[in-house]
Structure 1
Amino acid sequence: MAKRSAGWSAGAARDLLRRRLAAQWIAPPGPKVQENPRNGAARITAVTERMLALQAQDYGQAVWALGVRAPGSTRSDVEAALDAGTVVRSWPMRGTLHVSTPDDLRLMLSITAARTIRSILPRYRQLGLDDDVLSRARAIATTELRGGGRASRDEFFALLTADGIEPGGQRGTHVIGRLAHEGLLCWGPTDGGRQQLVILDEWAPPGPGPGPGITWPLDENGAPAAASHDPRRTEALGEFVRRYLAGRGPATLKDFCWWSKVTVAEAKRGLDHVRDRLTPEVLDGAEHWTADDGPDRGNTDSTSSTRPAPPFHALPGFDEFLLGYPDRAPALAPEFAERIVPGNNGVFLPMLVAHGTVVGTWRRRLASGAVTVTLDPFEPLSATARAGFTRAMLRYADFLGLALVLDERRLEKGAPDA
Structure 2
Amino acid sequence: MTKAALLNHRLVNQQISETVFKTPQEIVSWMVAMQAQEYAMSKWAIALRLKGVTEQDVEKAFNEGLILRTHLLRPTWHFVTPTDIRWLIGLTAPRVEAVMAFYNRELGLERNLFNKCNNLITKALEGGKHLTRAAIAAELLRSDIPLNGRQIGHVMMQAELDCIVCSGARQGKQFTYALFDERVPAAKPMPREEALALLAHKYFSSRGPATIKDFSVWSGLTLTEAKKGAASMSSSAFFEETFEGKTYILPFENPSGIFNRAVTSLSKSFLMPDYDEYGMGYIDRSAIFNPIKITPDFKRNNPVFNRMIIIDGIIEGTWQRTLKGKSLVVETFPFHTLNKIQSSALSKAVERFVNFAEHKW
Query: C-alpha deviations, 1:262-281, integer Å up to 9, x for none?
Result: 12222222222223332222
2:11 paired with 1:21: yes
Q: Which amino acid aligns with 2:226?
A: A
- What secondary structure sits across from 1:255 in the alignment? helix
Alignment match, 2:227:
268
Q: 1:84 aligns with which of 56, 60, 64?
A: 64
Cα 1:16–1:305 change in 2 (3 A) is closer
Cα 1:375–1:80 change in 2 (3 A) is same
Aligned residues: 354
Query: C-alpha deviations, 1:233-263, integer Å up to 9, x for none?
Result: 2111100101011110011111100111212
Cα 1:353–1:307 change in 2 (3 A) is closer
Report if the CA contact (8 A) 1:248-1:324 is conserved: yes
Alignment match, 2:243:
283
2:311 paired with 1:354: yes
Q: 1:238 aligns with which of 173, 176, 197?
A: 197
Question: TM-score, length-normalised on structure 1?
Answer: 0.78
Alignment match, 1:7:
none
Report if the CA contact (8 A) 2:299-2:333 is conserved: no
Report if the CA contact (8 A) 1:71-1:395 is conserved: no
Query: C-alpha deviations, 1:287-309, integer Å up to 9, x for none?
Result: 21113466xxxx44469998931
Gaps of 5+ in 2: none
Alpha-carbon distance in 2 for matches of 1:350, 1:305: 26
Q: 2:148 aligns with which of 126, 150, 168?
A: 168
Q: Which amino acid aligns with 1:279?
A: F
Report if the CA contact (8 A) 1:167-1:173 is conserved: no
Alignment match, 1:153:
133
Kindly, what percent of the aligned residue pairs are identical?
28
Alpha-carbon distance in 1 for matches of 2:300, 2:251: 31
Report if the CA contact (8 A) 1:340-1:349 is conserved: no
2:43 paired with 1:63: yes
Q: Which amino acid aligns with 2:51?
A: P
Alpha-carbon distance in 2 for matches of 1:183, 1:132: 16
Cα 1:343–1:176 change in 2 (3 A) is farther
Higher relative CO (Cα under 8 Å, sequence separation at least 6) belongs to 2
Q: 2:80 aligns with which of 84, 100, 108?
A: 100
Please state how far the C-alpha of 1:333 moved relative to its aligned partner: 4.2
Gaps of 5+ in 1: 1-10, 34-42, 215-231, 404-418
Query: C-alpha deviations, 1:174-193, integer Å up to 9, x for none?
Result: 11111111222111322324
Alignment match, 1:250:
209
Please state how far the C-alpha of 1:89 moved relative to its aligned partner: 0.4
Alignment match, 2:97:
117
Alignment match, 2:28:
48
Alpha-carbon distance in 1 for matches of 2:9, 2:258: 15
Computed over aligned residues only, the root mean square deviation of the Cα atoms, in angstroms, reads 2.6
Q: Which amino acid aligns with 1:275?
A: S
Alpha-carbon distance in 2 for matches of 1:158, 1:367: 37
Q: 2:267 aligns with which of 281, 302, 310?
A: 310
